[in-house]
């Protein structure tokens, strides 16, 4: 039997299960996509029951397979999502979507009670983002559904809820609390006082490090991590030089683990924030909703030119076309507010001769916006390497366009773009893996 770690890597779009050997090579992979359901207001949301069954069913199937010895299982999942469970560990509500509009009156009420919005955001290193601040989701539940709030035993972030399905243990974890939740006081290194005053802290289980794990027969079960923080781990363990990581998916997040300076008001206004590493150290970050925008605009281009949407991201970079587009189209269509998108949605597709031209321009616009976002957390004198992982790292047009934009940096794509899953395996490596981490655990392809 081959010894492996099983990692559930749960994104908004793709649900993945990886099996890694002791060298962190992928020996098996399962990818699923689920249709969203809706909450009681008709707003789209994750089908938490289907996801729960998928995780437990896949784990049970793994245990029954004869070719693998499942030494460990861990979880990487998107943040800003809380699962409210009762005394029997059953979800009490839908898994509310972090894109769901947040009532302005509740937000105003909260900020008036606990200080100026800007001061509150700086203390918690969380831009005021409504439902994307998961602490506000819990506050809303208390105000709008007091009966459910009373029945609730725990509020668990998604990675820790998924872990509890296997381990039966209920815990809170620092990378999940430290990701734009508006719950953590980055200056006092503790829960922000507003949680205690609202009685919300009583709904959280004990807070421990992701390096902890539990034993389930012969399998070590980790407690899960926030995916963006997990994606940093292979780079932190396999690198000696400072770097910036651009983690791409639904959100494209620029992570600088070497910048510990406090957030400024200007940075907050441009959707910058701080994450917490699994060690508790802060990570300066900027975010862009570029993966979501890419998906929407690809569908628009494909429909206009009668193409299959999934074919566009496999197109190869055309340097001559790239230069022609830059000369013949206005390239500064993006709004000053980085939260407003790249501006491609305002372009008329009839201006483009074919799919290839339109798609190249979409990527140019997205990279133009990404450049501005990444520069917010980039200290040029310190960092000379930019690593890209996630979906865009496999996109030839995106990577070449990004390298052209960041001419002063060495730009690399991770050839195994599963750093979140590998990070979740590495954080509990001492429980299942006898080998030390090799610097070559993620091979890199440089783009110039």
Residue-wise pLDDT for 112-146, tens only, equals: 999 888 899 999 999 898 999 999 999 999 999 99
**CA nearest 83: which of 18, 17, 176, 146?**
176
Contact 68, 4 (CB under 8 A): yes
Residue 414's pLDDT is 81
Contacts by 330-335 with C-beta closer than 8 Å and gap 24+?
A: 331/364, 331/365, 331/368, 332/368, 333/365, 334/365, 334/368, 334/369, 334/372
Specify the residue for token string 């008001």: 265
Q: Quick check: 439 pLDDT over 80?
A: no
- 109-113, 155-159, 178-182, 440-444: least confident range: 440-444
Angle at 301 between CA 298 and CA 306, to 5 degrees: 115
Tokens read off for 330: 């206005």
CATH tag, 2-226: 3.30.420.40
Tokens read off for 150: 């009373």
Residue 415's pLDDT is 67
Mean pLDDT to the nearest integer, 194-211: 95
For 23, the 3-state DSSP assignment is coil
Question: Which phi and psi (to 5°) does residue 344 adopt?
Answer: -65, -30
Residue 224's pLDDT is 98
pLDDT tens-digit series, residues 371-383: 999 999 987 667 8
Residue 381's pLDDT is 66
- 33-37, 185-189, 234-238: least confident range: 234-238
What is the DSSP secondary-structure string of 373-402?
HHHTT--TTT--EEEEEEGGGG-HHHHHHH
Q: Higher pLDDT residue, 444 or 403?
A: 403
- 166-175, 235-244, 277-286, 428-437: least confident range: 235-244
Mean pLDDT to the nearest integer, 359-379: 94
Per the DSSP assignment, residues forming a β-bridge with 83 are 156
CA distance 71 to 431: 8
- 111-120, 312-321, 342-351: least confident range: 111-120
CA distance 228 to 5: 20
pTM for the full predicted model: 0.82
**CA nearest 251: which of 179, 349, 182, 357?**
179
Residue 416's pLDDT is 61
Mean pLDDT to the nearest integer, 336-364: 93
Q: Quick check: 417 pLDDT over 70?
A: no
Q: What burial class does residue 227 get, using C-beta atoms within 10 Å of its C-beta: 0-12 exposed, 13-18 middle, 19+ buried?
A: buried
Residue 191's pLDDT is 95
CA distance 89 to 154: 8
CA distance 444 to 336: 33
For 410, the 3-state DSSP assignment is strand
DSSP state for residue 215 in the 8-state scheme = E
**CA nearest 181: which of 160, 162, 151?**
160
The separation between the first and the last C-alpha atoms of the chain, rounded to the nearest angstrom, is: 43
Give all strands (DSSP E) within 120-209, no chain letters: 154-157, 172-173, 184-185, 190-191, 207-208
* Residue 266 pLDDT class (50, 70, 90 cuts): confident
- 65-74, 101-110, 156-165, 266-275: least confident range: 266-275
Q: Quick check: 213 pLDDT over 70?
A: yes
Contact 172, 85 (CB under 8 A): no
User: How many residues are listed for the chain in this entry?
Assistant: 448
Mean pLDDT to the nearest integer, 404-417: 87
Residue 135's pLDDT is 97
- 66-75, 227-236, 305-314, 348-357: least confident range: 227-236
Give, in order, the Cα–Cα distances in Å from 238 to each of 64, 232, 320, 429: 34, 10, 36, 14
Residue 111's pLDDT is 92
């Amino acid at each position: 039997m081959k010894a492996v770690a099983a990692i559930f890597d749960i994104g908004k779009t793709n649900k993945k299960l990886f099996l890694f050997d002791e060298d962190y090579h992928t020996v098996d992979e399962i990818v699923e996509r689920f249709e969203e359901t809706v909450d009681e207001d008709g707003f789209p949301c994750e089908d938490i029951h289907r996801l729960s069954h998928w995780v437990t069913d896949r784990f049970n199937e793994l245990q029954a397979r004869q070719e693998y010895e499942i030494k460990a299982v861990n979880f990487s999942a998107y943040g800003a999502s809380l699962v409210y469970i009762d005394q029997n560990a059953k979800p009490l509500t839908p898994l509310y979507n972090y894109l769901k509009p947040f009532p302005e009156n509740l937000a105003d009420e909260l900020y008036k009670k606990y200080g100026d919005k800007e001061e509150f955001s700086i203390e918690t290193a969380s831009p005021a983002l409504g439902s994307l601040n998961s602490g506000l989701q819990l506050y809303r539940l208390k105000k709008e559904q007091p009966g459910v709030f009373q029945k609730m035993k725990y509020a668990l972030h998604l990675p820790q809820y998924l872990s509890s399905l296997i381990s039966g243990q209920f815990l809170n974890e620092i990378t999940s609390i430290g990701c734009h939740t508006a719950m953590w006081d980055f200056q006092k290194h503790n829960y922000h006082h507003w949680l205690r005053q609202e009685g919300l802290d009583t709904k959280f289980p004990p807070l421990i490090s992701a390096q902890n794990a539990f034993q389930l027969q012969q399998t070590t079960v980790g407690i899960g991590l926030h995916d963006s923080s997990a994606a940093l781990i292979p780079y932190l363990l396999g690198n000696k030089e400072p770097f910036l990581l651009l983690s791409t998916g639904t959100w494209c997040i620029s992570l600088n683990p070497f910048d510990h300076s406090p957030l400024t008001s200007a940075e907050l206004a441009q959707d910058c924030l701080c994450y917490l590493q699994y060690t508790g150290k802060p990570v300066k970050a900027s975010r862009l909703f570029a993966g979501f925008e890419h998906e929407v605009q690809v569908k628009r281009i494909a429909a206009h030119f009668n193409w299959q949407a999934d074919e566009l991201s496999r197109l190869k970079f055309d340097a001559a076309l790239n230069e022609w587009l830059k000369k013949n189209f206005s390239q500064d269509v993006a709004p000053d507010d980085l939260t407003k998108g790249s501006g491609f949605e305002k372009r008329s597709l009839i201006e483009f001769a074919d799919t290839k031209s339109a798609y190249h321009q979409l990527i140019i616009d997205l990279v133009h916006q990404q450049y501005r976002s990444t520069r917010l957390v980039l200290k040029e004198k310190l960092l000379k390497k930019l690593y890209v992982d996630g979906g865009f790292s496999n996109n030839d047009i995106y990577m070449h366009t990004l390298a052209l934009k960041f001419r002063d940096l060495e730009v690399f794509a991770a050839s195994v773009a599963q750093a979140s899953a590998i990070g979740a395996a590495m954080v509990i490596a001492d429980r299942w893996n006898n080998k030390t981490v090799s610097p070559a655990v993620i091979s890199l392809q440089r783009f110039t």
